[in-house]
Structure 1
C-alpha cells in the first residue's frame, strides 16, 4: 500500500511527460538533497520526478517534504506503508510513472550536468527504445589509485556507440561484457516494462535479471559514452557489505534468464552465449571467494561442500556454456586470467578437505 501526496503534483499532471525520473529513498538524508538538486537543476515541467520513501527512520521523508516546498508542483512524493526494499520501491514507481521513458536514480547518487539535455537530444534524434550511458564514481576523498582505475569515466557497454542499433543479441552481449547491469545507467521506454518484467523482490543483485530481461524486449538502442550519473561509493553498498545471503542471491541471480532467452531467434548467438556464461562465471567466483574467506569462521566442512555444490549447480543451470566449454573459450580468446580464476573457483575445495 502506497501513500500518495498529490498536493505537490497538480501542475505536472496537466501534460504527459516525456521522461519520468524515479528515485527510491531509504535512510539517505545526508545525500538526498544533493541528488534532488542535481535533477531539478536541469529539468522542466515536461519531466516527471517521483520520490518514494521506503519507511525511512532518519528524517528522509521529512526532507522530501521540504524539497517539495522548494519546487512547488514539481515533485511527486510517495511513501510505502511498510519497509519493502529497493525492488518493491522501483516496481511501485513503475506502476505510477507516466513518462514515455523511465530513468531510475539512486537517492545517494547524482545526475551530472547536461545529462538530461543530452538524453533529450538523443531521444529527439533517434527515438530508441533504450539509451545506455556511462558513469563516474564519486568519492568523498578520492585518491590517486581511484584515478588510475578510471573511476572518472566507467563504461557500461562494450560495442558500437553514438548510433541507433537494432540487434538485441549485441545489446545484451555488450551489457554483459562490462558487467555494469545497474538500472541507473539505462533509460528505457516505459513500454518495455511489461507486467512480466519487474525487479525481483526480497533479493539482492536484483538488477541483473530485471535489466537484462527488460533490454531483451528493446527493438532499438543507443549507447552514449558520456558519464551522466555520479555513483556514490559507500561502504554500505551491496558489494561493500557482503554476507552469506547476498552471495547466495548473487550465485542464483541469472537462473531464469537463459531459459527465457532461448525462446528468441536471436539468442543462439556466439558472442551473447559467451558473454552470459562469463557473467555467470563472475557470479560463481564472487560467491565462492566470499564463502572461502568465511568458511573457516562460520561454516562446517559439510556446509561448505554443500554450498559450493549449490554455486556450481547455479552456474550449470544459468550458463549457456558448460564449465568445460567456457574454459575452452577463455583459452581460445587468450583470456588467461579469467581461465585461471574460473578453473580455481569452479573446482574449489576447502582446505579442510
Structure 2
C-alpha cells in the first residue's frame, strides 16, 4: 500500500482526475533504494522535460538513507500535479518495479533507475515515436556512463533499424537476442503489454528479474520502433562486484524462465535458435563467475547451472555449433558467437572457462556492476550481495 504521504496534495488519476490529454501519456517510473547521492540528479533529468501528458512516479523500497526525504522535497517543489511518490517496506527491486506498474496510469511505461539519468530530449523523442507509430514497444539506445572517467563513456546502439515501424515479431525477438541488452529501462512498453503477463510481472526474490521478464513482454509485441539517439545515461560505479552462489544460479536461470513462456506462445524455429545462442552467453558467464566461489561450492554450482542450461534450451547442446555458423542467424559478432560455443564445449568437458573476449567479458562486468550498484540482498540469505 502507498504511504500516507503518497500524493502529498496532488491528484492521482486513479482518484478521478486524468492526466492524459489527446496525446498518448507516458509514466516515467523510478524504483529507488538508498540512492541519496544520485536521486536528485535523476529526478531533475526527468522533471526538466516532463509535460502535462507525462507522469513521474517514484516508489521508494524502504530506503534506510535520505532517499525518500529528497524525493518528497523534489515533489513539493514541483508545481504540477503529475509527480507521485509511494513507499513500501524493503522488499527488493522486483517488488518495487511491480509496485510501479500497479500505480502507473500512462499509456506507456518508461522505467528509470534512481542512480541513472534521463538524457535531454528523451521524452520528446518518445512522444514523437508514439504519435507517428503507436508501437507496442520503443527500443532505446543508451550510454554506458562513467561520470568519474568521461573518456570511458560510450553509446550502446541496439541492432534494430532506426525510425521505421517494425511489424515482424521474429525480427523483434531475434534482434533482441542478438543484442542481449535485456535491461527493462531500455524498452518503453505499452502499459497494456505488461497487463498480458501474469502477476507478479517481475519475479520476486530473484536477481536478473528483467532478464526473465523483458523477453516475455516482447513475446506480446507485434510492433517496435527504435529511437535514433540514446535516452539514458546508465551510471557505471567502480565498486567491486561480489559473486555468490545465488548470483551464479539466478544468472543462469533467468532466461529459462522466459523460454518456458515463449514456448507457450508458440514462437517459431528461428526465434528458438536465436534464444539458444543467447542462452549460451548466459551459461558461459555463470560458469566463468562460479570460479570465484570456493572450490567445492563452485563445483556444485556448475553442476546446477549446467542442468539449468540443458533444460532451458529449445534445442540441444550438439546443435549450438551449427547454429553459430548459420548464415540466416542475426548476429552482432559471429566470431564471438563461435568463441562462446567453444566455451560451452569446454565447460561441458570440465575445462576451466577462461580468456573471455571483448563483449562477453564486458557484458558480465556490466551486469555485476548493475547489481552491485542497485541494492543489497536480504542479510539472512546473502549478507552484502547487491542487486
> Normalization by structure 2: what TM-score?
0.81
CA distance in 2, matches of 1:25, 1:78: 10
Structure 2 residue ranges without an equivalent (≥5): 328-333, 354-387
Shift of 1:2: 3.1
Asked if 2 retains the 8 angstrom alpha-carbon contact of 1:304 and 1:350, the reply is no
> Normalization by structure 1: what TM-score?
0.89
Residue 105 (structure 1) aligned with residue 101 (structure 2): no
CA distance in 1, matches of 2:12, 2:265: 43
CA distance in 1, matches of 2:150, 2:117: 20
Residue 321 (structure 1) aligned with residue 323 (structure 2): no
Q: 1:6 to 1:332 in 2, by over 3 A?
A: closer
How many residue pairs get aligned? The number is 335
| Residues 5-14 or 305-314, more deviating | 5-14
Q: 1:273 to 1:225 in 2, by over 3 A?
A: farther
- Number of the residue aligned with 2:50: 43
Asked if 2 retains the 8 angstrom alpha-carbon contact of 1:64 and 1:77, the reply is yes
- Number of the residue aligned with 1:288: 287
Asked if 2 retains the 8 angstrom alpha-carbon contact of 1:53 and 1:61, the reply is yes
* Structure 2 counterparts to residues 114-263 of structure 1, below 5 A: 114-142=121-149, 144=151, 146=152, 151-155=153-157, 157-194=158-195, 195-196=197-198, 198-235=201-238, 240-263=241-264
Structure 1 residue ranges without an equivalent (≥5): none
Shift of 1:233: 0.7
Asked if 2 retains the 8 angstrom alpha-carbon contact of 1:8 and 1:77, the reply is no
CA distance in 2, matches of 1:83, 1:258: 30
Shift of 1:332: 4.5
Shift of 1:342: 2.4
Q: 1:322 to 1:77 in 2, by over 3 A?
A: same
- State the Cα deviation string for residues 212-234 of structure 1 (Å, max 9, x = none): 11111112111123101000012
- Number of the residue aligned with 1:84: 91
CA distance in 2, matches of 1:343, 1:158: 28
Shift of 1:309: 1.9
Asked if 2 retains the 8 angstrom alpha-carbon contact of 1:134 and 1:229, the reply is yes
Asked if 2 retains the 8 angstrom alpha-carbon contact of 1:24 and 1:52, the reply is yes
Shift of 1:257: 2.2
